[in-house]
Structure 1
Amino acid sequence: MSFRELRFARALEFTIHEINNRTDFLPGITLGYQIHDSCAEVPTVSHYSTCACLSDKHQYPAFLRTIPSDHHQAAALAKTVKYFGWTWIGAVRSDTDYGNIGMASFLKAAQEEGICVEYSESLYRTEPRSKLERVANVIRRSTARVIVAFLASGDMRVLLEELTRQPPPPLQWIGSDAWIIHPEFLRFNMCAGAIGFGIPRSVIPGFREFLLDLSPEQALKSPLLTEFWESSFSCSLTGSSGGARECDGSEDIRALQNPYTDTSQLRITNLVYKATYAIAHAIHGVICNDTQCDKSAKFTPLQILDQLKRVDFTTKNGFQVSFDSSGDPVAVYELINWQFKKDGGLDFVTVGHYDSSRPRGQEFSMSRAIIWMGEQTEVPRSVCSESCPPGTRKAVQKGKPICCYDCIPCAEGEISNKTDSLNCVRCPSDFWPNTQQDSCLPKPVEFLSWADTLSIILTAFSLSGAFVAVCVIAVFYKHRTSPIVRANNSELSFLLLFSLTLCFLCSLTFIGQPSKWSCMLRHTVFGITFVLCISCVLGKTIVVLMAFRATLPGSNVMKWFGPPQQRLSVLAFTLIQVIICVLWLTTSPPLPFKNLKYYKERIILECALGSAVGFWAVLGYIGFLALLCFILAFLARKLPDNFNEAKFITFSMLIFCAVWVTFIPAYVSSPGKFTVAVEIFAILASSFGLFICIFAPKCFLIMFRPEQNTKKHLMGKGPSKAF
Structure 2
Amino acid sequence: MERTKCQSSGTYNEIDGYYKTGDLIVAIFIFDKGGQKIWIYWEISAVDQWKIKNYQQIPALTFAITQLNKDPTLLPNTTLGFRVYNYRNIIRWVFVSTLSLLSTWGQMCPNYKCDRKDELMSVIGGFDSESSRQMASILGVLKIPQLGHGLVDPLQSGQKVYPSFYRIDPDENSQYVGLVQLLLHFHWNWIGLVSRRDDRGEHFIQTLTPMLKQNDICVLFYRMFENKRWLERAQVHRISIPSAWLECLVIILFGNPGIVEVFVTLQESNSSLRKVWILTSHSEIAATDSQSGWQSLKPFHGALYFRVHRRDVPGFKPFLRGLDPFRPKGDVFLRKWWEEAFKCGFLKPGETSLWWSRNCTKKKLEHLPGTKFEMSMTGPSYSIYNAVYSVAHAIHAVSSSGSNRGMRGKGERLLKVQPWQVLASLRNVRFNNSAGDEVSLMRSSKRYEIRNMVFFPNGSMAPVQVGWIDPGAPPGQDFLIRPEKIVWATETPPFARCAQRCSPGHRRHVPEGKPVCCYECIRCPEGTFSNKTGTGTCCDPCPEDQHANKNHDQCFPKKIHFLSFQDCIGIILASLALFLSLITSLVMATFMKHHDTPIVKANNRDLTYVLLLSLLLCFLCSFLFIGRPTKVTCLLRQAAFGITFSIAISSILAKTVTVVLAFMATKPGNIGRKLLGGQLTNSIVLGCPLIQAGICAAWLGTSPPFPNLDFHSLAGEIIEECNEGSVTMFYMVLGYMGFLALVSFMVAFPARKLPDSFNEAKFITFSMLVFCSVWVSFVPTYLSTKGKTMVAVEIFSILASGAGLLGCIFLPKCYIIILRPHLNTRDHLRMKKN
TM-score of the two chains, using structure 2 as the length reference: 0.62
Alignment of 1:207-226 (within 5 A): none
User: How large is the RMSD of aligned CA atoms in angstroms?
Assistant: 6.2
Indicate the residue corresponding to 1:81 in structure 2: 179
Indicate the residue corresponding to 2:728 in structure 1: 610
Q: 1:382 to 1:2 in 2, by over 3 A?
A: farther
Alignment partners' CA distance in 2, 1:360 and 1:489: 88
State yes or no: 1:621 paired with 2:740.
yes
Indicate the residue corresponding to 1:54 in structure 2: 132
Alignment of 1:234-249 (within 5 A): 248=355
Pick one of 300, 303, 319 that aligns with 1:190.
Answer: 300
State yes or no: 1:434 paired with 2:547.
yes
Alignment partners' CA distance in 2, 1:372 and 1:674: 62
Q: Please list the CA deviations of residues 357-381 of structure 1 after superposition, one character each: whole Å capped at 9, or x if unmatched.
A: x668799697988733517999877
State yes or no: 1:119 paired with 2:221.
yes
State yes or no: 1:158 paired with 2:277.
no
> What's the CA shift for 1:469?
2.6
Q: 1:523 to 1:80 in 2, by over 3 A?
A: same
Q: Please list the CA deviations of residues 325-354 of structure 1 after superposition, one character each: whole Å capped at 9, or x if unmatched.
A: 69x986776544323458453223455677
Q: 1:76 to 1:330 in 2, by over 3 A?
A: closer
State yes or no: 1:478 paired with 2:588.
no
Indicate the residue corresponding to 1:372 in structure 2: 486
The one-letter code sitting in structure 1 at the alignment partner of 2:547 is N
State yes or no: 1:578 paired with 2:681.
no
Q: 1:319 to 1:54 in 2, by over 3 A?
A: farther
Alignment partners' CA distance in 2, 1:470 and 1:646: 23
Q: What is the DSSP-based 3-state SS (H/G/I as helix, E as strand, rest coil) of the residue aligned with 1:473?
A: helix
Alignment partners' CA distance in 2, 1:508 and 1:230: 99
Indicate the residue corresponding to 1:179 in structure 2: 284
> What's the CA shift for 1:565?
2.5
**Structure 1 stretches lacking a partner, 5+ long:** 215-220, 239-245, 718-723
> What's the CA shift for 1:447?
5.3
Alignment partners' CA distance in 1, 2:827 and 2:252: 118
Q: 1:116 to 1:180 in 2, by over 3 A?
A: farther
Alignment partners' CA distance in 2, 1:650 and 1:14: 117
Indicate the residue corresponding to 1:142 in structure 2: 248
The one-letter code sitting in structure 1 at the alignment partner of 2:255 is L
> What's the CA shift for 1:84?
3.0
8 A contact 1:99–1:152 mirrored in 2: no
Q: 1:666 to 1:440 in 2, by over 3 A?
A: same
State yes or no: 1:630 paired with 2:744.
no
Moved more, 370-379 or 584-593: 370-379
Q: What is the DSSP-based 3-state SS (H/G/I as helix, E as strand, rest coil) of the residue aligned with 2:240?
A: helix
> What's the CA shift for 1:162?
0.7
> What's the CA shift for 1:251?
3.2
Alignment of 1:349-360 (within 5 A): 349-350=464-465
The one-letter code sitting in structure 1 at the alignment partner of 2:195 is R
Q: Please list the CA deviations of residues 170-229 of structure 1 after superposition, one character each: whole Å capped at 9, or x if unmatched.
A: 314233243323463454143324221157597654757857769xxxxxx99x959978
Q: What is the DSSP-based 3-state SS (H/G/I as helix, E as strand, rest coil) of the residue aligned with 2:454?
A: strand
Q: What is the DSSP-based 3-state SS (H/G/I as helix, E as strand, rest coil) of the residue aligned with 1:84?
A: helix
Q: Please list the CA deviations of residues 296-327 of structure 1 after superposition, one character each: whole Å capped at 9, or x if unmatched.
A: x9x999799989979x999xx9779999769x
Q: Please list the CA deviations of residues 675-720 of structure 1 after superposition, one character each: whole Å capped at 9, or x if unmatched.
A: 4433433333333333334433443343344455544455449xxx
> What's the CA shift for 1:629?
1.2
Alignment partners' CA distance in 2, 1:320 and 1:645: 106
**Structure 2 stretches lacking a partner, 5+ long:** 1-35, 39-48, 71-76, 99-122, 151-166, 400-407
Q: What is the DSSP-based 3-state SS (H/G/I as helix, E as strand, rest coil) of the residue aligned with 2:548?
A: coil
8 A contact 1:462–1:507 mirrored in 2: yes
Pick one of 571, 583, 586 that aligns with 1:468.
Answer: 583
Q: 1:502 to 1:403 in 2, by over 3 A?
A: same
Alignment partners' CA distance in 1, 2:370 and 2:571: 97
Alignment partners' CA distance in 2, 1:194 and 1:416: 32
Pick one of 613, 634, 646 that aligns with 1:527.
Answer: 646
The one-letter code sitting in structure 2 at the alignment partner of 1:469 is T
Q: What is the DSSP-based 3-state SS (H/G/I as helix, E as strand, rest coil) of the residue aligned with 1:519?
A: helix
Q: 1:687 to 1:389 in 2, by over 3 A?
A: same
Pick one of 797, 804, 818 that aligns with 1:703.
Answer: 818
> What's the CA shift for 1:157?
0.8
Equivalent pairs: percent with the same residue?
A: 23
TM-score of the two chains, using structure 1 as the length reference: 0.70
Indicate the residue corresponding to 2:713 in structure 1: 599
Alignment partners' CA distance in 2, 1:30 and 1:569: 123
Alignment of 1:118-517 (within 5 A): 118-124=220-226, 125-126=230-231, 129=235, 133-134=239-240, 137-142=243-248, 145=250, 147-164=251-268, 165-168=270-273, 170-182=275-287, 184-186=293-295, 187-198=297-308, 200=310, 204-205=317-318, 248=355, 251-253=358-360, 262-264=372-374, 267=378, 270=381, 335-340=450-455, 343=458, 345-350=460-465, 371-374=485-488, 431=544, 434-435=547-548, 448-482=563-597, 484-486=599-601, 490-511=605-626, 513=629, 514-517=633-636
Q: 1:685 to 1:712 in 2, by over 3 A?
A: same
The one-letter code sitting in structure 2 at the alignment partner of 1:626 is F
8 A contact 1:46–1:275 mirrored in 2: no
Q: What is the DSSP-based 3-state SS (H/G/I as helix, E as strand, rest coil) of the residue aligned with 1:480?
A: coil
Indicate the residue corresponding to 2:679 in structure 1: 568
Alignment partners' CA distance in 1, 2:336 and 2:548: 77
Q: 1:454 to 1:378 in 2, by over 3 A?
A: same
8 A contact 1:49–1:65 mirrored in 2: no
The one-letter code sitting in structure 1 at the alignment partner of 2:174 is A
The one-letter code sitting in structure 2 at the alignment partner of 1:95 is R
Alignment partners' CA distance in 2, 1:498 and 1:300: 111
8 A contact 2:502–2:521 mirrored in 1: yes
8 A contact 1:507–1:680 mirrored in 2: yes
8 A contact 1:196–1:335 mirrored in 2: yes
Alignment partners' CA distance in 2, 1:716 and 1:508: 46
8 A contact 1:95–1:122 mirrored in 2: yes
8 A contact 2:320–2:375 mirrored in 1: no
Indicate the residue corresponding to 1:680 in structure 2: 795
Alignment partners' CA distance in 1, 2:64 and 2:597: 140
Alignment partners' CA distance in 1, 2:79 and 2:802: 126
Alignment partners' CA distance in 2, 1:364 and 1:381: 25
Indicate the residue corresponding to 1:217 in structure 2: none
> What's the CA shift for 1:532?
1.5
Moved more, 370-379 or 160-169: 370-379
The one-letter code sitting in structure 2 at the alignment partner of 1:473 is M
Alignment partners' CA distance in 2, 1:305 and 1:198: 27
The one-letter code sitting in structure 1 at the alignment partner of 2:488 is G
